[in-house]
Structure 1
Amino acid sequence: MPRVAGADIPDNKKIRIALRYIYGIGPHFAELILKEAGIDGDIKANALNEDQLAQIAGILENNYVTEGALRRQVAQNIGRLRDIRSYRGDRHRRGLPVRGQNTQTNARTRKGRKRTVAGKKSVKGMK
């Protein structure tokens, strides 16, 4: 498995797809990186030579925030929102949707599994 910018990318996939396994690199950035490096995107990742891998790694290191640094940056941004007590920060703190989505019926991904609350027990025989 080739190692690029601190991340393992799969051998048997085309390089344009394999680059997407790096956190912070999507389809658009993968194409831009390959265009800048002058590498055909249809070549398999294991067919790249060391110079090409080093060239891709250099472009990633100089121009893009990826992997651990990007995760840290996102966590710091969320922490800042929490610290200034913004609405978005409160939504992050409570584990609710942040971007205005409906929560009455959906939002199970953010809220987690249903927790059924027992209703009032009725007393039989009373009028």
Structure 2
Amino acid sequence: MARIAGVDIPRDKRVEVALTYIYGIGLTRAKTILTKSGVNPDIRVKDLEDGDVQKLRTALEAFTIEGDLRRQEGMALKRLQDIGCLRGRRHRMSLPVRGQRTRTNARTRRGARKTVAGKKK
């Protein structure tokens, strides 16, 4: 199993797909990396040579991936919460951030229903 950017990528998949296991790399970016590094996207990870793996590592250095990207996203959310803007407050309260309705249809963000007893006479 090849280890690239601190991630064990699966051996039996094509290199193009295996690179998407790295956080911050989708299929489009994986194709870009492979063309820049000159590695054939159709070969399997187990068939990669050491030189190819090294080429991929150097090509990946140009992108923000894995821990750095997670940290960057976390800091962006923390900044929004610290300045107290609407988006930050919505993130803090675990509510939809982009203007969606919450009277109905916000179950994913709000969690399971909390049943309230009906009004008694």
Q: Same fold (TM over 0.5)?
A: yes
RMSD in angstroms over aligned alpha carbons?
Answer: 1.0
Counterpart of 2:36 in structure 1 is 36
Alignment identity in percent? Answer: 50
Correspondence 1:12 to 2:26: no
Structure with the greater alpha carbon radius of gyration: 1
Tell me how many residue pairs correspond in the alignment: 121
- Give the TM-score of the pair, scaled to structure 2: 0.95
Any idea what the Cα deviations from partners look like across 1:56-104, whole Å, max 9, x if unmatched? 111112x111111110100000000000101100110000111222222
Deviation of the 1:117 alpha carbon? 1.3
Unaligned runs of 5+ in 1: 123-127
Q: Which residue of 2 aligns with 1:109?
A: 108
Q: Distance in 2 between matches of 1:100 and 1:34?
A: 39
Rounded to whole Å, the distance in 2 between the matches of 1:75 and 1:118 is 38
Q: CA shift at 1:32, angstroms?
A: 0.4
User: 5+ unaligned residues in a row in structure 2: which ranges?
Assistant: none
Return the TM-score normalized by structure 1: 0.90
**Counterpart in 1 of 2:49?**
49
What is the letter of the counterpart of residue 82 of structure 1?
Answer: Q
